[in-house]
Structure 1
Amino acid sequence: MAQNDINDDETVGFENEEEKIIQYLNRGTNELDVVPIVGMGGQGKTTIAKRVYDNDVRAWCSISQTYNQSELLQEIFSRVTGSKNKGYQDDDVLVDALADKLRKSLMGKRYLIVLDDMWDGMAWDDLRFSFPDVGNRSRIIVTTRLEEVAKQVKYHTDPYSLPFLPLDESCKLLQYKVFQQEGCPPELRDVSLEIAEKCKGLPLVIILVAGIIKRNKMEASWWHKIKKSLLSYLGESDGCSLTTMQLSYDNLPDYLKPCLLYMGMFSEDARIPVSKLLSLWIAECFVQNIESAEDYLMDLISSNVVMVSKREYDGKVKYCQVHDVVLHFCLEKSREEKFMLSVKGDFQPSDWKENRVSFSFSNPNSHPSV
């Protein structure tokens, strides 16, 4: 679980949706309320939540599909108070103590808590009594892909289903991600509109496509080649993000592909220390030295498959992360190419045919059966 820093890049689109969410936060009941935002992966739920992330006391927490209750409470408590709670050995004692401390730390304060990417209503059941209601219009934003989860967390406000980006905003986002402040040349505007239409209003798809186009952004023939590729890659919206990731992956230079797949070694929502990541790349012989490794990382960031999470004061990238759609692609592709095996439960050595294995458990005391 990691707090999501606001990205460096300017965001485009969703101005009307942002205003609606702000109205939900500022108007209505004085009681504690939950604002559920529903949409498919890559549709922009997290982006909207980031824009309205401002209040007296605030905390942002991403919830992985295999979350741990004590870690979840610890993360929120740390964000709210700026401190860490340690010293409990028994997990049940830790959960009870953290829940009580979190509730006390929020008592009497107006707060905004963002619970990003909730997959299971049980996570809400584990947290709900830690959020006090003292009639001061405190709010909790929950983003989820699942309508049933949105209904389960609802208090007073009905779930808000995030619409797809309209074509004009899709084209504006595509052009911005390709050209930044330069502006799109007139001779490329028509083809950019045609490509934006193929992205079906999904911001993640638009951003991934922009990362491909950027490599030869001034060549009209390249834009038309990408448009033609989209016709063969993209099907229904539900699989649109993953198939676009395949297109992005296919267009990466061969030397970057193992570096991207290696991101699957890290857990969902993890903020990855760049110094650690680059050292691992060098140890794996993906790259020979730190300078080249830094260049590789910047190439992946420029391709929009890796995101900047936090920068140093001098502008260098300190932490990076990947969208969960990108992570899912890396895990699937790694297994397909026998690059890496990701294990989330009991493990039999006979199952291991890959060169690397990554273990992930919701219970920190669990371990693989080998």
Structure 2
Amino acid sequence: LPEYTESRSNNSIDNAERITIPVIINGAIEKPGDVDTFKFDCVAGSEIVAEVYGRRIDSPIDSLLRIMDRNGKVLVWNDDSDDKASGLITHQADSYIYFKVPEDGTYLVQISDAQGYGGDEYAYRLRISYPLPDFTLIATPSALNIPAGCSIPFDIHIIRRDGFNGTIELYLKDMPEGFSLSGGYVPQGKNIIHLTLTAPIQTFDSPVALNIEGKAEINGKTIVHPVIPAENMIQAFGPTHLVPSESFLAMVLKPGFRNIPMSILNNLPLKISGGTAEVQVKVSPRMAFEEVMLELKQPPDGISLEDVAIKNNLLTFRIKADNTKIKDGFTDNLIVEVFTNSPVGPKDEKGNRTKQKISRGFLPAIPVIY
């Protein structure tokens, strides 16, 4: 976008500085109590974005942003806006407004410091433009340990920008043969997706760099972005931050006795018709003589599992959807962990062994449609 430096004589509505959008304005709140005011013409029905970069460029400004009509009536305002892609910024103090113009005319944008502070260091970059829909993809955690031939869950966070609400396709790029991604479809409006990575049956002597991309159609163009690795870190009193990592790695380990490769035999995505759908899973024959239990991780409200059975090397169960909670068009990934209630340790005087709930690993993510 074109860039412009404010004149510093725009501290009132009467002295509002005329601009032509789209533009990025470079300015500063030079002294305590200062305001910077800009005016532009726009037509009814237009959508306008006004976004401040202050804290995200290491400025102390706590921006307050207003959009007003030509007479100074405030139509919409914003103090703080949360940007989950901003890492360890503990105070999300940058302002963001998405505004639909009600009628033809001249409009004012005014920026100040919400605390009334100012100085040359209180710099900002103010974007005023029509929406530039886009997205950022962030994966957590940034390091995965996967037994060979098995699957491990992880999350991808979708930061949607300027009204983008479309679907996204996630896929592996330039990875060694044998790796596969399950659940790589991001539905409209979804801001986090749970999916799994399945490792090849052979082990690796060193960590493997993961390369995942996401693509979406935006305004007739295919937009592609890499997935950024991060750690989900908790700040005191609860807030979490997606803190970028230098690398995105998977270590493929020699599977232990407890790790059992499992694969879904159904065609996916799985359509839940009539409220239920059966899932068939290929497993090791050594699970046939053990009690099997399944647990949904972070389950969608209204989805449950039932009728778990195993025979030889086939595990079956049913996915049940409560139609009072799950509506037509629902789509998501189900993450299922498999456990067995297995005998451990020596036999007692009666010949019995203690049973222990043991995780056998995760199924590949199961995309479902209702």
Task: With the length of structure 2 as denominator, give the TM-score of the two structures.
Answer: 0.22
Greater fraction helix: 1
Q: Which has the higher contact order (CA 8 A, sep 6+)?
A: 1
Greater gyration radius: 2
Structure 1 or 2: more strand by fraction: 2
